[in-house]
Structure 1
Amino acid sequence: MNKNIILTFIFLLIISCSKNSNDINQTPIYPSFGSEIDVNIVGLTFDAMEPFISPDGNYLFFNNINDGVNTKLYYATKLNSTTFTFVGELTGTNQIATPHLDAVADLDSNGNFYWTSTRNYPTELDNLFHGTFNSGIVTNIDRVHGDFNMNIAGWLIMDHGISLDGEYLYFNNARFDSQNCQGPCETNIGVAKKVNSTTFNKLPNSESILQNINNVNYIYYAPSISSDNLELYYTRYLKGEITANTVFEICVAVRNNTLDSFSDPKVLFSETISNLIEAPTLTVDKKVIYYHKKTANSHKIVMRNRI
């Protein structure tokens, strides 16, 4: 073999090894946020949970107490980042007959609205719904199908997070068994790709993308993906009996590009159940994070500014 060719090969091999080593050892850069600030929803007189801020920043969606008996979706309009005006129920999404649950709002930049509903469950097992949002009204309602659904009684799409462009669904499979578990018995977060407005199929590499997040020792829920698809926020707690000492954590995992797996998670904020925190959502510019928090008599929405 020509000497120059050998030297070139060795040089390329060294460069390749160096690059792989840097990728492996690269330290993730996590976001950080300032102190907690109460959000005022003018005119609201009941609990506000599971917030979602619309891509244009003008609407704050949320549900009332998440008891699965009379849980409905509502919305408020923005005055500023800490103050919203309560409007009322989100027309088209809510069931009438109790017990029922309509909760966990998601909206992409094209007006596609998603939420979790117990409509006709367990006769129909696909419990994620889709519609078209416009000025406080959701129309063209249909179930979201696809192989991300477990299609087994007891398993639900508990939570979800839609990417800004609507192409990727971060879903949360959760198994419930009230005879043997308090809350979900087990959960798993995955990612699915859009086929059409009412169908998503699980990515073949979903497990590897989320390999540093899913852990059988935790219960996971409320995934929320940033507008650039590089930061995944969610809530978790250690699996087992929920006691006064159970700690609920809002976490984030990051990546450098959309082809990478997410990093190990970082705990951003944590509270015991008496001050329960859950369900993060981020503004499109990533400058503000909202989530809900338990108080002595209710649940409220709070926010933090990115540092």
Structure 2
Amino acid sequence: MRIKFIFQVSLILLFTFSCTSNGNENINSQTVYPEFGPEIEVIINGLSVDAMEPFISPDGNYLFFNNLNDGINTKLYYATKVNDSTFNFVRELTGANQSETPHLDAVADMDVNGNFYWTSTRNYPTELNNLFHGTFSFGNINDIGRVQGDFNMNTPGWLVMDHGISLDGQYLYFNNARFDDVNCLGPCETTLGIAKKINAFTFSTLPNSTTILQNINDQNYIYYAPCISSDYLEFYYTRYLKGEITSNTIFEICIAVRSNPMTSFSVPKVLFSETISNLIEAPTLTVDKNIIYYHKKFDDSYKIVMRFRS
């Protein structure tokens, strides 16, 4: 959950000059990574706010997203599909959004059975587990509750910043992040993990979670926005180097792969990278893996873009 993070990063651009750079990875030449074509802007007819943190529903008919992720009046919305790059804006996602500011309701996820997940500042910091679940039906989120489990740090300053649910709903890819507004812009440190579903409301961290992600977690980076493919073989996420965020900071959308869903992921590869002037984040993948969506900064607003798999 990027509370005020994107807003703070954007302010940097008002006082610094931007420049471009390319991220390089020392990747295993024996590993086969997918490739994607040119970037295409997604049109959401009738939308008048920023569009960030996209999630495409398993059936491909709904595009979920939130507006500006400033932690003040951040809400979840949805649009319906016209074609792969065009959607019609519908409205707010009823039931998911808080009514009183400041608040944040963001980062949509949903499994094939309509179980919906998102991050929320409801009653924070009185209650520290900030990942929520509900049931999606015709633009409404019902049966709302908190997701329980040992992946919740339950420590002031630590949040489930982001998450990715597997298609079958059995595995939660979580991102724990520590925030300290005095000493850090955005999260001070992060870690990715995997938890298995125990019941409708509870997940438990896998004993081998660290091993599965051993080639991905690196203390030199800040990680967020995990996304697991429908076949468990491709893992997407966003990262940038830990430290002061400047106009030269590069944000990278990365992928790690594996040939078997029971094994560890490969060394990651950078798919796309941009400095904060053209900030890119938050990949989401269609079930057939043929399209990747993410958001990008254009001048003073954020829009969703897409690429077809080559």
TM-score by length of 2: 0.91
Paired residues for 1:220-259 under 5 Å: 220-259=223-262
* 2:54 counterpart of 1:64: no
Runs of 4+ that moved beyond 2 A:
none
Q: Match of 1:20? A: none
Aligned partner (choices 71, 88, 98) of residue 85 of structure 1: 88
Which letter does structure 1 place at the counterpart of 2:102? P
Percent pairwise identity: 75
Q: Match of 1:289? A: 292
For the residue of structure 2 that corresponds to 1:234, the secondary structure is strand
Alpha-carbon distance, 1:44 to partner = 0.3
For the residue of structure 1 that corresponds to 2:149, the secondary structure is coil
* 2:43 counterpart of 1:40: yes
Q: Match of 1:52? A: 55
Structure exhibiting the larger radius of gyration computed from Cα positions: 1
Alpha-carbon distance, 1:82 to partner = 0.3
For the residue of structure 2 that corresponds to 1:279, the secondary structure is strand
Alpha-carbon distance, 1:39 to partner = 0.2
Q: Match of 1:15? A: none
Aligned partner (choices 123, 137, 143) of residue 126 of structure 2: 123
User: Which structure 2 segments of 5+ residues have no match?
Assistant: 1-27
For the residue of structure 2 that corresponds to 1:95, the secondary structure is coil
Q: Match of 2:171? A: 168
Paired residues for 1:190-209 under 5 Å: 190-209=193-212
Aligned partner (choices 273, 277, 285) of residue 274 of structure 1: 277
Alpha-carbon distance, 1:197 to partner = 1.5
For the residue of structure 2 that corresponds to 1:76, the secondary structure is strand
Query: For residues 79-126 of structure 1, what are the alpha-carbon distances to aligned partners after superposition, in whole Å with 9 as ceiling and x for unaligned?
Result: 000000000100000001111000000000011000000000111011
* 2:111 counterpart of 1:100: no
Q: Provide the C-alpha distance between the structure 2 equivalents of 1:26 and 1:140, rounded to a whole number of angstroms.
A: 47
Paired residues for 1:129-148 under 5 Å: 129-148=132-151
- Paired residues in the alignment total 283
Alpha-carbon distance, 1:26 to partner = 8.4
Q: Provide the C-alpha distance between the structure 1 equivalents of 2:263 and 2:192, rounded to a whole number of angstroms.
A: 16
* CA separation of 1:26 and 1:247: change in aligned 2, threshold 3 A: closer
* CA separation of 1:298 and 1:141: change in aligned 2, threshold 3 A: same
Pairwise CA RMSD: 0.8
* 2:155 counterpart of 1:157: no
Q: Provide the C-alpha distance between the structure 2 equivalents of 1:49 and 1:285, rounded to a whole number of angstroms.
A: 22
